[in-house]
Amino acid sequence: MDRRGFLAAGGGLCVGLSLGGGRASAQGFRAARGLSLGEVDTFLAVAADGRVTLYSGKVDLGTGVRTALMQIAAEELDLPMSRVSVVQGDTLLTPDQGATISSVSISRGGVEVRRAAATARAALLAAAAREWSVPVEGLATLDGEVRAPDGRALDYGKLVGGRTFMLKVDPKVKVKDPASYRLVGRSVPRVELPAMVTGQFEFMHDVRVPGMLHARVVRPPAMRGRLGEVDDSAARRIPGFVATVRVRDFLAVVARDEWAAIRAARALRAQWARWEGLPDQSQLWASVRASPILRDDVTQNVGNAPLMLQKAARVLRSTFDFAIHTHGSIGPSCAIAQWEDGRLTCWSASQQTHELRRQLADMFALGADQVRCLYVEGSGCYGRNGHEDAAADAALIAREIGRPVRVQWSREDEHVWDPKGPPTLIDYVAGLDERGQVTAWTAEAWIPQGQSVSRATLVAAELGGLPTDASHPGSVQQHLAIQYGFPNIRSVAHRLAHTPFRPSWIRTPGRMQNTFGNEVFVDELAQAAGVDPIAFRLRHLSDARAAEVLGRVAKLAQWVPHEATRPVLQAGRRTGRGVSYVKYELVRTYVAVVAEVEVDVDSGAVRVTRVHVAHDCGQVINPDGLRNQIEGCVIQTASRTMVEELRFDRSTVTSRDWASYPIMRFPDVPDVTIDIIDRPGEPPWGAGEPTAAVIPSAISNAIHDAIGVRMRSVPFTPSKVKAALRAAREAGTRG
Amino acid sequence: MARRIALTVNGRVSRIEVDDPSMPLLYALRNELNLKGLHFGCGLAQCGACTVQVGAAAVRSCALPVSQAEGKPITTLEGIGETGRLHPLQQAFIDEQAAQCGYCTGGMIMQAKALLESNRSPSDEEIRRALAGNLCRCGSQLRVLRAVRRAARAMA
């Protein structure tokens, strides 16, 4: 189905003359030009009634991106928001603006939309000027109309008349002066919330395709397994059973309704070969350290750190590790697939429908133009969880049985089979001179190999013996390079050939783990130098925005400058505060946080009571939306830091539900206070992830402030805290 | 063998046919009755995304067999208010923008409704404890707390 068919069905016709004068209809545009990012029509369509459709490759994940993009488009076009609607993540209709990852939806996607809308506005003004035979300089736009000084007005709908713009986006187009903003920079309420609170919002899980059947996948008991005999005699007796699907080691049952599919999956008897290829979890870090290394990436090299280490008066060493985490989506992955005349349509909550389309095309030996992937919101996914795998499951089952199929993963499917945030191990060594000044900083990390395009192997393809990609978790070496101006720095990433599970990106991938190590180790260096942690950071940064964000969090938290003290370890509760800072990927959003904790020295239990955040992401599109993201980063990452650790045996994941993989619940959620630095004259940067990067270290630094021990291993479970206290007592030292 | 079950949902009686009377109410509400205000999160009564009210009590519909729900007054999110006539909790969740992905939101609202109907002005600690069984992975808990406090004031 092409875009014309869609639009005709939707009631908004795009036929006839282009604004530029040539003859081209919308469907001709699509066929001739595809969805180039350089064309205004790729992003915007104006219907005859003046309503504007925004076509976005970036999708809303519960992040407020849809509303923010509407604000941006409506601002540049001088339109009420109520006249804008969004189509997102449909490979047939929306451009490939890259996956919705990396916190660039606004900084890249939003800027692309802004330029397209501004170019469109200029074209509308020019068209009105021609229509009225007046100079364009005297004209203005307001409320979806072009207005002349003499009072004449033309609605955009009348000007464009549902035609296409046939216009290239001007990369240097003059965008609106932020001083004139009516929408951008305001806390416009998210457009989805009224539907969400009344049960009207349609999630992926709510999509119904006519004639669809319900399927459940049946996975091996281990992470790998050859499938032997399948006995579905009991499954077949379940009323509503339709079929068993087997493609090599891929196994599923299909039924007329959802509960029948669940019952049939439970009744299925399958023999799987044993597999024990996972490391012993109690030896995980030894096995990471011993993993074969594909190559070493030098991530930063300043001066000659190895030489200066040899000459140092004193050497500090610390090792950090960060556990394997799962995304923990509240709604297990769900997808629907339908084949028709050799073409595949797939509905899922994938953050990257264009990439999914390519993966499914490869899996089934199709051309990309024979596959259409549509995005429908799932629950928060925080990276590459099971959505794409559910899509591949549905596509394979639907192909086998010749009917549209809905696959719903169980809670166990999601916990076990979603790809995981890989384990991270980092050794730091720093050299100090006689005065405690840092002369050299080195970091050595053991992390999986990565590629610039993030992708993960599709489970269905792997089990079914069909083509798929190797997994690459994205740029997890980010932030091994540091911003601090130490005179000699060398950091290296050992890219490992293997990692225990399919690695994928989970919020702030690599950047969280590496910033954890950096910002605790910096605190240790501040302690060695006898300098306040904020003052120490400021000394080694020459960046005005860095100084401001650190100054603002100090003010917000009423930080009292102090050297790291050595508290007497005694029974009872101790409170402490710790600071952390990052400039995300060294090139964009600045965040500084102060975390406050309360430690029960007897039980080792740590409560994160409050986190203060100062945040500079340049031009803020929606302040409340930004606050929502910052709070989310804090709370989710506090959970990951304090309690989360994927557990496994030699065969499989043993964290199979919320009891065996607990996450933070209401009683333990910290308060969050936020100071937003809004710079309307700067480019807008992202906020979905940067704050998450600094939470683990801020909490660790706060624990040190409270009880004098350094937590260098995430999660900071009570038993680890107690072990650290014991070790400190036995050593007679602190930290 | 198919069995007819009469469910009283949001004040209306619907007669559905089920093959298995032990099927959780969750599936009857979502599939037979096409309600979207509750969601499948775990099927294990661990997350609260499927919460409805049965009588006054907040109940995990994934853990209640549909046969045991027969004849009892069931209320889902759709039944507590609608556009133009929102329940104070629904209005409060909008006013506080108390959601990100929204998947846990229905369960949160129903659990909070049960709380406020038995405790008209709960303390922060009481709200946190009452919602301890409702998971939110996006981190909207602080806004949910503000929304529940706001609704409590409106309902007082």
**pLDDT score at A702:** 97
**pLDDT score at B97:** 98
pLDDT band for A16, please (50, 70, 90 cuts).
very low
Q: What is the pLDDT of residues A337-376, one digit of tens each?
A: 999 999 999 999 999 999 999 999 999 999 999 999 999 9
Quick one: which H or E segment has residue A707?
helix A690-707
With contacts defined as CB-CB under 8 Å, which chain B residues touch A666?
127-129, 131-132, 134, 141, 145
Cross-chain Cβ contact B19/A665 below 8 Å:
no
CA distance A366 to A375: 20
> Which candidate from B38, B39, B128 shows the least CB-CB separation from A666?
B128
Q: What is the pLDDT of residues A79-133, one digit of tens each?
A: 999 999 999 999 999 999 999 988 999 999 999 999 999 999 999 999 999 999 9
Quick one: which H or E segment has residue A270?
strand A269-272
**CA neighbor of A579 nearest in space, from A544, A541, A625, A617:** A541
With contacts defined as CB-CB under 8 Å, which chain A residues touch B106?
196-197, 199
Cross-chain Cβ contact A378/B36 below 8 Å:
no
Checking if the pLDDT of A24 tops 90, the result is: no
With contacts defined as CB-CB under 8 Å, which chain A residues touch B137?
328-330, 379-380, 382, 636, 663
- Minimal Cα distance from A610: which residue of B? B142
Checking if the pLDDT of A733 tops 70, the result is: no
- In sequence order, what DSSP letters do the residues of A72-127 get, joined into one string? HHHHHHT--GGGEEEEESBTTTS-----S-TT-IIIIIIHHHHHHHHHHHHHHHHH
Looking at residue A325, the DSSP 8-state letter turns out to be B
- Minimal Cα distance from B110: which residue of A? A197
Residue A300 phi/psi, 5-degree rounding, is -165, 140
CA distance A202 to A479: 38
> Mean of the per-residue pLDDT values for chain A?
93
With contacts defined as CB-CB under 8 Å, which chain A residues touch B104?
330, 379
**pLDDT score at A18:** 34
> Which candidate from B19, B94, B145 shows the least CB-CB separation from A260?
B19
Burial class (CB in 10 A: 0-12, 13-18, 19+), A230: middle
**pLDDT score at A735:** 46
Q: What is the pLDDT of residues A137-191, one digit of tens each?
A: 999 999 999 999 999 999 999 998 788 999 999 999 999 999 999 999 999 999 9
Taking residues B123-144, what's their average pLDDT? 98
Checking if the pLDDT of A2 tops 60, the result is: no
Beta partners for residue A592, in sequence order: A581, A614
- Give the CB-side neighbour count of residue A672, counting CA atoms within 13 A: 32
With contacts defined as CB-CB under 8 Å, which chain A residues touch B93?
193, 196-197
| Strands A489-496 vs A438-448: parallel, antiparallel or unpaired | parallel
**If you count them, how many residues does chain B have?**
156
**CA neighbor of A677 nearest in space, from A325, A185, A90:** A185
CA distance A476 to A513: 9
- Taking the CA of residue A253 and the nearest CA in chain B, the distance in Å comes to 17
> Which candidate from B47, B93, B138 shows the least CB-CB separation from A380?
B138
Beta partners for residue A671, in sequence order: A610
- In sequence order, what DSSP letters do the residues of A442-511 get, joined into one string? EEEEEEE---SS-B---HHHHHHT---PPPB---TTTTSS--S--SSEEEEEEEES--SS-B--BSSTTH
One-letter amino acid at A489 equals I
Please say whether the beta carbons of A487 and A303 come within 8 A: yes
Burial class (CB in 10 A: 0-12, 13-18, 19+), A283: exposed
One-letter amino acid at A392 equals A
Phi-psi sector, A11: left (phi>0), alpha (psi -120 to 50), beta = left
Please identify among residues 68-97 of chain B the ones whose CB lies closer than 8 Å to any CB of chain A: 76-78, 81-83, 86, 89-90, 93-94, 97
- In sequence order, what DSSP letters do the residues of A523-550 get, joined into one string? HHHHHHHT--HHHHHHHT---HHHHHHH
CA distance B41 to B46: 8
Residue among A330, A637, A640 with most chain B CBs within 10 A, to mutate: A330
One-letter amino acid at A420 equals K
- Structure token digits, residue A109: 């996607």
How large is the ipTM?
Answer: 0.98
Peptide bond into A306 cis (omega under 30): no
Beta partners for residue A320, in sequence order: A426
pLDDT band for A25, please (50, 70, 90 cuts).
very low
Residue among A59, A65, A196, A326 with most chain B CBs within 10 A, to mutate: A196
Q: How many CB pairs under 8 A join A and B?
A: 183
> Which candidate from A239, A330, A629 shows the least CB-CB separation from B103?
A330
Cross-chain Cβ contact A196/B129 below 8 Å:
no
The answer for residues whose C-beta is within 8 angstroms of residue B50's C-beta and 6 or more apart is B26, B38, B39, B40, B41, B60, B61, B62, B107
Tell me, yes or no, if the pTM score tops 0.90: yes
The answer for residues whose C-beta is within 8 angstroms of residue A44's C-beta and 6 or more apart is A52, A53, A54, A55, A73, A116, A117, A120, A165
The answer for residues whose C-beta is within 8 angstroms of residue A86's C-beta and 6 or more apart is A53, A54, A55, A56, A66, A69, A70
Please say whether the beta carbons of A599 and A721 come within 8 A: yes
**pLDDT score at A572:** 82
Please say whether the beta carbons of A438 and A431 come within 8 A: yes
- Structure token digits, residue A383: 């990276």
Distance (Å) of CA A725 to CA A317, A569, A599, A730, A733 = 19, 8, 11, 9, 10
Instruction: Tell me whether B128 touches chain A (CB under 8 Å).
Output: yes
Residue A183 phi/psi, 5-degree rounding, is -120, -50
**CA neighbor of A697 nearest in space, from A508, A539, A568, A457:** A508
CA distance A62 to A351: 12
Crossing angle for the helix pair B105-118 and B88-95, nearest 10 degrees? 130
Residue among A406, A633, A640, A666 with most chain B CBs within 10 A, to mutate: A666
**pLDDT score at A161:** 73
CA distance A355 to A59: 14
- Structure token digits, residue A649: 């045996």
Please say whether the beta carbons of A68 and A385 come within 8 A: no
pLDDT band for A565, please (50, 70, 90 cuts).
low
**CA neighbor of A510 nearest in space, from A425, A389, A590, A595:** A425
- Minimal Cα distance from A636: which residue of B? B139
> Which candidate from A197, A632, A666 shows the least CB-CB separation from B105?
A197
Please say whether the beta carbons of B38 and B30 come within 8 A: yes
**CA neighbor of A592 nearest in space, from A517, A533, A635:** A533
- Minimal Cα distance from A672: which residue of B? B142
Phi-psi sector, A78: left (phi>0), alpha (psi -120 to 50), beta = left
pLDDT band for A452, please (50, 70, 90 cuts).
low
Q: What is the pLDDT of residues A599-654, one digit of tens each?
A: 999 999 999 999 999 999 999 999 999 999 999 999 999 999 999 999 999 999 99
Per the listing, tokens 């096409």 go with: B34
CA distance A202 to A410: 20
Taking residues A16-45, what's their average pLDDT? 61
With contacts defined as CB-CB under 8 Å, which chain B residues touch A634?
139
**pLDDT score at B36:** 98
Please identify among residues 54-73 of chain B the ones whose CB lies closer than 8 Å to any CB of chain A: none
Please say whether the beta carbons of A548 and A581 come within 8 A: no
B119-153 burial code (b ≥16 CB/10 A, e <16): eeebeeeebbebbebbbbbbbbbbbbbbbbbbbbe
CA distance A5 to A25: 12
Q: Can you give A387-453 as a three-state secondary structure string?
A: HHHHHHHHHHHHHHHCCCEEEECCHHHHHHHCCEECCEEEEEEEEECCCCCEEEEEEEEEEECCCCC
Cross-chain Cβ contact A197/B41 below 8 Å:
no
**CA neighbor of A237 nearest in space, from A192, A269, A201, A195:** A269
- Taking the CA of residue A332 and the nearest CA in chain B, the distance in Å comes to 6
Taking residues A383-395, what's their average pLDDT? 97
Residue A581 phi/psi, 5-degree rounding, is -145, 145
Distance (Å) of CA A489 to CA A305, A317, A443, A486, A492 = 5, 15, 8, 7, 10
CA distance A574 to A567: 9
pLDDT band for A515, please (50, 70, 90 cuts).
very high
Q: Can you give A644-677 as a three-state secondary structure string?
A: CCCCECCCCECCCCCCCCCCCCHHHCCEEEEEEE
Taking residues A45-64, what's their average pLDDT? 95
Taking residues A220-234, what's their average pLDDT? 97
> Which candidate from A331, A629, A665 shows the least CB-CB separation from B132?
A665
Residue among A192, A198, A242 with most chain B CBs within 10 A, to mutate: A198
